[in-house]
């Protein structure tokens, strides 16, 4: 009898362990990291997505803690806030994550010991746990990428063709990497991180070592996944694979499309359903080569107002809004590539909508001649909110607020601290309406006029005398756009005098 109970205990333990490993399959929420491997000190982003039908409670903290527990290589939970002060006041508030919503938190790899000494996480295998769901990741040694090479076996592929990816350790030290169902690399397209394994399966990954002189390979079948685990085929465009500090790029050609000759510089951009803030890192004249989108009408922000432009009006170095009715892509061509050396973008006082060069670049390396009070801010189409950025990534558009006219350009300079001033929400001038009943008053102080069909806008909570001008009757549909009436604007202007 004891032997049977013992065997039953082993079976139950194995079942529980399997349930924890595959918890993403059954859980009504998805918990993930933005990467699988990080350099020392690199910011790690954790995302929680509610894919169920009821709200999920989580903690939002202001002292460095996040909504999940983080465990180090020795299995010990890390203290993310100073234990000497964390008990004097509760820095966390309980939030409700509604069905279909997502929340993110970041960790800068710093933690505290029991006496309050601030430490930097050492290289090794880590994991984070939220409500029993676990995600694994690696902090790699500073020099672990030395000697690593990664490459695809071809430069160009046709749609559906197998892509063989190989990595080789040509260094003298062992390199740790994350193996997820045989996939040992990450993949991007125009700086966008792609899912090549199903994220809702909890990324069944394990830490492996690549010894000096050793080679590993994987064949990709050109299938990708959405964040919710929906599979779809890769489209034609530029792709890159990454392992540690090594990378390689290749292109997938459209059906019947010949190998592109040098000099036409095609650049593909993928749009999510809804609003997208993007840029085209090409030199004039930019033209639209092909598109799978239902429309090709864009919005630029000039002299404090929005203006509609078509594809022929796009220019490198500027940011644009595009609203897609469904996920789609566009391929643009230009006379050349807007490299960082050629990047010269003029700013005006106030908010500016800018684009990025053809390579990722630290924003503060190009802003030494500018007084920047906020930004750069990109727009996350999946989360429908702004995200602070430290670098400009190709294909992405950004908000930047300047104190006066200046020019963004090289040479390199020391960066300044990231400001905490948030940009204004997406202006309602880009939201179309038919009648005034399509418009509503929003914002903490009732200072925003937006479309009834657009997302609710969150603003800072403050009161100014001119806010008394904003009334429901002043918010209406004017010229096909939800905006304040002329009388309301004149009332506000009266307080400015």
What's the pLDDT score for residue 200? Answer: 66
Tens digits of per-residue pLDDT, 3-30?
443 333 433 333 333 333 333 444 577 8
What's the pLDDT score for residue 142? Answer: 61
How many whole angstroms separate alpha carbon 239 and alpha carbon 165? 12
- SS3 of residue 187 by DSSP: strand
Residue 278: closest CA among 225, 330, 336: 330
What's the pLDDT score for residue 320? Answer: 92
Tens digits of per-residue pLDDT, 253-269?
765 444 443 445 678 88
Mean pLDDT taken over the chain: 77
Task: Lowest mean pLDDT of 332-336, 401-405, 479-483, name the range.
Answer: 479-483
What's the pLDDT score for residue 459? Answer: 67
Q: Is residue 434 scored above 60 in pLDDT?
A: yes
Q: pLDDT higher for 393 or 81? A: 393
Average pLDDT over residues 320-326: 86
DSSP string, 284-331: SSPEEEEE-SS--EEEEEETTEEEEEEGGG--TTB-EEEEESSSEEEE
Q: Is residue 203 scored above 80 in pLDDT?
A: no
Average pLDDT over residues 402-424: 61
In contact, 130 and 85? CB cutoff 8 Å = no
Q: Is residue 111 scored above 60 in pLDDT?
A: yes
225 contact partners, CB below 8 Å, separation of at least 6:
195, 196, 197, 198, 199, 231, 232
Q: pLDDT higher for 355 or 477? A: 355
What's the pLDDT score for residue 487? Answer: 86
User: Exposure string (b/e) for 323-362, b if CB count within 10 Å is 16 or more?
Assistant: bbeebbbbbbbbeebbebebbebebeeebbbbbbbbbebe
Residue 185: closest CA among 242, 249, 137, 251: 242
Task: Lowest mean pLDDT of 222-236, 245-259, 476-490, name the range.
Answer: 245-259
CATH class of 148-253: mainly beta
The phi, psi pair for 311, rounded to 5°, reads: -60, -35
Residue 457: closest CA among 421, 422, 416, 495: 422
What's the pLDDT score for residue 460? Answer: 66
Look up the CATH architecture of domain 23-139: Sandwich (2.60)
For the chain, what are the domain ranges?
23-139, 148-253, 270-408, 428-496
Q: Is residue 279 scored above 90 in pLDDT?
A: yes
What's the pLDDT score for residue 24? Answer: 42
Average pLDDT over residues 289-313: 84
What's the pLDDT score for residue 141? Answer: 67
Residue 332: closest CA among 391, 388, 273, 271: 271
How many whole angstroms separate alpha carbon 243 and alpha carbon 187? 9
Tens digits of per-residue pLDDT, 307-320?
888 888 888 999 99
Tens digits of per-residue pLDDT, 75-96?
788 888 777 665 455 567 888 8
What's the pLDDT score for residue 432? Answer: 57
In contact, 318 and 306? CB cutoff 8 Å = no
Tens digits of per-residue pLDDT, 440-449?
888 777 888 8
Residue 21: closest CA among 140, 139, 181, 177: 181
Q: In CATH terms, are 23-139 and 148-253 the same topology?
A: yes
Task: Lowest mean pLDDT of 144-148, 183-187, 457-461, name the range.
Answer: 144-148
What's the pLDDT score for residue 63? Answer: 61
Helix residue ranges per DSSP H, 67-207: none
Average pLDDT over residues 263-281: 81
Q: Is residue 213 scored above 60 in pLDDT?
A: yes
pLDDT-above-90 percentage for the chain: 6
Average pLDDT over residues 336-348: 87
């Amino acid at each position: 009898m004891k032997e049977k109970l013992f065997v039953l205990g082993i079976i139950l333990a194995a079942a529980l362990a399997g349930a924890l490993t595959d918890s993403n399959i059954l859980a009504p929420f998805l918990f993930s990291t933005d990467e699988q491997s990080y350099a020392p000190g690199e910011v790690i982003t954790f995302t929680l997505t509610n894919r169920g039908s009821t709200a999920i409670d989580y903690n939002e903290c202001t002292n460095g803690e996040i909504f999940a527990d983080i465990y180090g290589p020795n299995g010990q939970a890390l203290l993310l806030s100073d234990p000497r002060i964390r008990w004097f006041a509760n820095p966390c508030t309980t939030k409700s994550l509604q069905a279909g919503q997502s929340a993110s938190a970041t960790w800068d790899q710093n933690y505290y010991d029991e006496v309050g000494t601030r430490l930097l996480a050492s290289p090794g295998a880590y994991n984070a746990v939220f409500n029993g769901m676990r995600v694994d990741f690696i902090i790699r040694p500073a020099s672990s990428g030395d000697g690593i090479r990664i490459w695809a076996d071809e430069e160009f592929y046709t749609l559906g063709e197998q892509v063989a990816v190989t990595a080789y350790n040509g260094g003298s030290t062992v390199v740790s990497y994350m193996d997820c169902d045989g996939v040992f690399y990450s993949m991007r397209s125009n700086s966008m991180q792609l899912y090549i394994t199903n994220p809702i399966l909890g990324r069944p990954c394990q830490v492996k070592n690549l010894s000096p002189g050793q080679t590993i390979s994987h064949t990709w079948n050109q299938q990708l996944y959405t964040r919710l685990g929906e599979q779809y085929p890769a489209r034609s465009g530029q792709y890159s694979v990454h392992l540690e500090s090594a990378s390689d790029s290749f292109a997938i050609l459209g059906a019947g499309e010949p190998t592109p000759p040098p000099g036409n510089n095609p650049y593909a951009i993928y749009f999510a359903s809804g609003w997208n803030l993007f840029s085209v890192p090409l030199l004039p004249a930019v033209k639209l080569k092909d598109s799978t989108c239902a429309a090709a009408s864009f919005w630029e922000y000039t002299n404090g107002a929005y203006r509609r432009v078509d594809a022929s009006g796009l220019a490198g170095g500027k940011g644009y809004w595009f609203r897609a009715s469904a996920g789609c892509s566009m391929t643009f061509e230009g006379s050349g590539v807007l490299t960082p050396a050629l990047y010269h973008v003029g700013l005006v006082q106030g908010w500016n909508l800018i684009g990025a060069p053809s390579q990722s670049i630290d924003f503060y390396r190009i802003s030494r001649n500018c007084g920047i009070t906020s930004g750069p801010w990109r727009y996350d189409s999946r989360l429908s909110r702004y995200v602070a950025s430290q670098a400009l990534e190709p294909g992405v558009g950004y908000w930047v607020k300047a104190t006066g006219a200046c020019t963004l350009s090289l040479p390199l300079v020391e960066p300044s601290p990231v400001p905490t001033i948030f940009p204004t929400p997406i202006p309602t001038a880009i939201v179309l309406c038919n009648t005034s009943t399509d418009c509503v008053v929003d914002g903490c102080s009732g200072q925003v006029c937006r479309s009834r069909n657009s997302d609710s806008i969150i603003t800072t909570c403050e009161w100014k005398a001119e806010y008394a001008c904003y009334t429901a009757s002043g918010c209406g549909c004017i010229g096909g756009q939800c905006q304040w009436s002329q009388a309301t604007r004149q009332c506000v202007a009266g307080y400015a005098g």
